[in-house]
Every structure is written in structure tokens, then in C-alpha cells.
Amino acid sequence: MKKTGAWLVRYALEQIGVRFTFGIPGVHNTELYDELNNSDTIQPILVTHEAGGAFMADAISRTSSSIGTLAIVPAAGAAYSSAGIGEAYLDGIPMLVISGGVRTDIPFTYQLHQMDQQNFLNEITKQTWKVSRHSEIIPTIYEAYRVANEGEPGPVFVEVPVNLQLFTGEVDSLPLFEQRAPAPLLVESSQIDKAVELLLKAKNPGIFVGWGARDATQWVTEIAEFLNAPVSTTLQGLSVFPANHPLHTGMSFGASSVPAAENAFRHCDCLLAVGTRFGEIATGSFGVKVPEDLIHVDINPRVFHANYPAKVALEGDASRVLELLWQALQKMPQPTNQRGMIREQILKDKEQYAQAWLQHDSGERVNPLHFFRALRRAMKDDDFLVVDDGNHTFLTAELMPIHRSKRMISPTDFNCMGYAVPAVIGTKLANPDQQVVGIIGDGAFTMTCMEILTATRLKLGAVFFVFHDGELSQISQAQEIPYNRKTCTVLQGLDVAGVAKATGARFLALERNADCSEVVEKALKMAADQAPVVVDVKIDYSKRTRFTEGVVGTNLKRFNMGTKARFIGRALLRRVTG
């Protein structure tokens, strides 16, 4: 039979369950877009910028069972979308990128958009393909989908030259997609037994979970309760363990963590780490003290021993490994460690930390804890929170409890500002029956705010809370101590109400603590009317997060005495001279 390449791409995408594609049509993919428009199961979404489209695709993968998919033009589209592809790559998020390509049936070079896309994207994808004949299209897309989802997930890239899309070619069959069975778990029982032995002999065991444990919350909870062990999370894994559980402590566990986590893990003598790479943010710039008895569970063996040596390394899917660990623990007597009052201490530390925020004078601005308490009351546990990169990220991590796994997403290791506006849109598309809320710094907002046009056009009722203080605050605060000045981190002229008007969104302003509950509830109610809502929050950033203070202190300690003296002396001199 003969089919166009564009038809074959559509067929393959339908078979693997793609629900949305994101991108901008161009001369190298108009035929594909025409085919997507004919699909009964796929909705092609026009975005304002391919970076926004990539962030939307990322959010689809994080918050649904469908893979986020891009349909882009070559070269320019690949370059613009590379920010979101890179975010997915470093955060372990599956993504399928379908790109057009220049013609391969003519002898001419220097064609429009001609470049080696495979080489360009090699560093931020798991694998790339360039198909050369019609018969390769369906098998290649099926294989790309499998690669994206197997092992540690990540983005994949498939280039389909425009001539294949436009013209018909011979194919022998139209195979249905068949998912491969999961790879057998290779964990040796002796390793499980060794992990059990370490956990049971520990006086102060602790558990540290990341995004890789997102589907293993049940087993993390069972093991934590059996061991009476405190649980901390990475930033990306913030939702993995419910914040309303009495053993939840917060993000990280060292000098950059909240008091509940720092105190609970101070004497930790055995750490069960699950689905985490021990990356820079998760460890507060590598400022945590990891005990010698480290049990590390991850699906990617390359993370073992990378930053902290593991006494036991268990390779495999977190749910499957932890279930084995739980079954082995159940055969043993429950330990009676010396942490009988650990839950009470965690609660006390959380309450004292909250009081410190409530007692902070925010003047004529909004105290972050007042805002997050109002937001927590207004949102259901099943609703979604999308957070951008900046000072607001760590305020959210410290002050906003998340109760369900995968209900909070944020850029982490690639750490792209501008993530949240488009990611809110992607999340709402995938989850139309849940509230979707974005927390976005004003600097990040300026990067992708025009993508709200897409939300307006699609009648998506999501809420964008813009934390507006006029600075790139995470960096400006980091500049203050060593430099005593703010260079290129002061923002001017942002009219949030003007952006809302320009993009067709509804607008609210939040300027006082007393109005937090009223404005938050009103915003969510307005969004229920299938319209995006932008809220300009006059936030107070004057009180630093524990994360910011801890990271600055950790890095300063690493400087030699001469560098410390130079930094401190310069800051003091500038403070005196102005």
C-alpha cells in the first residue's frame, strides 16, 4: 500500500496514545499539520513560541499518562524548543519531538533550515533518528516512544524529511503498537538483605526521595512508618511524600533545609535514598552530610557513587525495588529505635518555623506564608501546582504543603526560567477537571507570559500568580552578601495588568495579607469560567528562605581564607562607601 509520510506519522502517534502536539507550522511540516487536523484523537496546539511548546509537552508527560509531543520545523524550531527539551532531559521526563527536515530528493544544498539536527540535539536527548524511507516511519516512532519511557525517561527526536511527508511511498503493513514487557528486576536478594540489615541496626534512619519515587509513595510510606524514619524530598520530588504525614520534614536535610528536616536528619546514621541523583539543588549545593550507610535506589546505575558512595546500590524501578524491600522488612521484628518522639519534634519545628514567618513584618507587601496558607485552603489535594524557577520556588518548597504525588511540578536540574506559564497550560490541557495554579516570579513571567494567549484561545481556566517584587530575587539576594550591590537583577516597567489585557486574561491584584483568602478564592472561581486569570501578587521577599541562606553559607565555607577575606572586605567597604 502507498501512504504519505505525514499520514504514517499521524497513524503512529495515534497508536502510542498521543493526545496533543505542540508547535508552529512551517514549510517543512504543513502536510503533517494537515494530517493532525484530521485525527480524531490528537489535538494539534499552536503555541506562540516553540520553547513554550516544549514546556507544555514536558508538563503533559509529568501530569498524565500520555507522552508530551512536539511537532516542529527544523533548525529554528529545534533551537527554540531546545530549552524545554533540555529541561526534560536533565529532569528525566519523556518527550517525543517530531521534526520536519529539508528535502532529501533534490541535489541542492544550503536549503532553508538545513542543519545537522542530530548533532545539535545529541547532548539533550536520549537518542535521535532521521528516517530515509516511508517504511521506517512507523517502526522508528514506536522505537523512539519506547526509548523515551524505558529506564530513566527522557526526550527523543525523530526527523522526517519534508519530501517523505508530502509524497506517497510503499509500506508493507500498518503494525499496531505493542509495548515491551518491563525488563526483569536484577536486584539480588542478598543486596536486599544487606539493606534491611543496615536499616534495622540504625539508631537514626532517614529516607530521602526524589521524582524517581513518584509512583512509589505507598511503599515509601510503609517503610517510613515501619522504621519510624523521617522523610525528606528533593525539589522535583516535593510531592512524592505527603506533607501532611507526621514523618514528612521538607525539602533536603542539611543546612539549606527547614529546621524540621535539619534537626530530624542531624544524627542520621543510615539513609535510604530513592529516585534521586543527589544533585546540586537537592543537596543545597552539596552541603548535606550523607552517612556512610547509604542505601541508594535508582533506575539509572550511573547515579550510584557519583557524589556520595553507596554501601548498597539497588538498580531498578523504585516501586518494584521498594516493594521487595518492604516485603523483606515485614519478615523482621519492628525496630525500637531511639526516635520515639520524632513526630512530635517534627511538628514542633514546623510550627516554630511558621511562627517565625508570621511574625516577620512584611510592611505593605504580602507575607508569603499568608499567601500559601490561603492557597492551600482553597486548593484540593488533587489539584496541580506548577512552579517556575526563582526565589518563589524555594518559598513554595518551604511554605506550601503538597499532599499528592505528581501534584507539584517545577524545573529542576536544567532550571529554566519561563517554565511555568506554558507548563500550566499543558497541565490544564491534560487535566481539565482539576484546578491548575502557577506560581511565577516576575522575571520568569516576562519570558513566556505571551503564551497566555494560547490559554485564552483554548478557553483554559488556569490561574497564574505572579510574585511581583521588581527583582530577579534569588540571584539579587545572592549578590547582596558578597557584592553588596545588585547588577542586572533589578527589573523595571512590568505592567502585569497590561499583560493580562493584552493576552485576553482576567486580572486581579493582591496587595495585602488581609486579602489573601478573598483574592485566591476569587481567582479560582473566575478560572472555573474557562478563562485564564492573572493575579499580580505584591510579594515580600525581604525574609530569605532557609535554602538561600544555606547555599550562600555552604559555598562561602568552600572558599580559601584569602578569597573569603576579599569577598567580605569588598562587601564591607561597599556598605560603608555606598
- The CATH number of the domain covering residues in 189-343: 3.40.50.1220
Give start and end residues of each alpha helix (H) in 110-237.
Answer: 117-121, 137-149, 162-166, 189-201, 217-227
Q: H or E element: which one contains 2?
A: strand 2-4
In this predicted model, what pLDDT tens digit does every residue of 471-492 receive, in sequence order?
Answer: 888 888 777 767 778 888 888 8
> Angle formed by the axes of helices 50-63 and 420-430, to 10°?
50
| The predicted structure's pLDDT at residue 213 | 98
d(CA 295, CA 300): 14
| The predicted structure's pLDDT at residue 83 | 97
| The predicted structure's pLDDT at residue 338 | 56
Rounded to two decimals, the pTM is 0.95
| The predicted structure's pLDDT at residue 240 | 98
Burial call 113-147: b when 16+ CB within 10 Å, e when fewer = beeebeebbeebbbbbbbbeebebbbebbbebbeb
CATH T-level fold of 360-545: Rossmann fold (3.40.50)
| The predicted structure's pLDDT at residue 356 | 97
| The predicted structure's pLDDT at residue 487 | 84
The CA R_g of the chain, rounded to the nearest whole Å, is: 25
Amino acid occupying residue 401 = P
Could you tell me the three cell numbers for 309? 558512595
| The predicted structure's pLDDT at residue 578 | 66
| The predicted structure's pLDDT at residue 165 | 95
Q: For the chain of 578 residues, list the mean pLDDT of each consecutive stretch of 10.
A: 97 98 96 97 98 98 98 97 98 98 91 92 97 98 97 97 95 92 85 97 96 98 97 98 98 96 96 97 95 97 96 96 96 77 96 97 96 98 97 96 98 94 98 98 96 98 95 79 80 94 98 97 97 97 92 84 79 73
Instruction: Reduce the DSSP state of residue 497 to 3 states and report it.
Output: helix
CATH T-level fold of 2-170: Rossmann fold (3.40.50)
Would you list the domain boundaries of the chain? 2-170, 189-343, 360-545, 548-577
d(CA 323, CA 374): 37
Question: How far, in Å, are 48, 52, 119, 427 from residue 447 at the CA level?
Answer: 12, 10, 27, 19
In this predicted model, what pLDDT tens digit does every residue of 247-281 receive, in sequence order?
Answer: 999 999 999 999 999 999 999 999 999 999 999 99
First to last CA, the chain: 78
Nearest to 59 by CA among 422, 462, 523, 463: 422
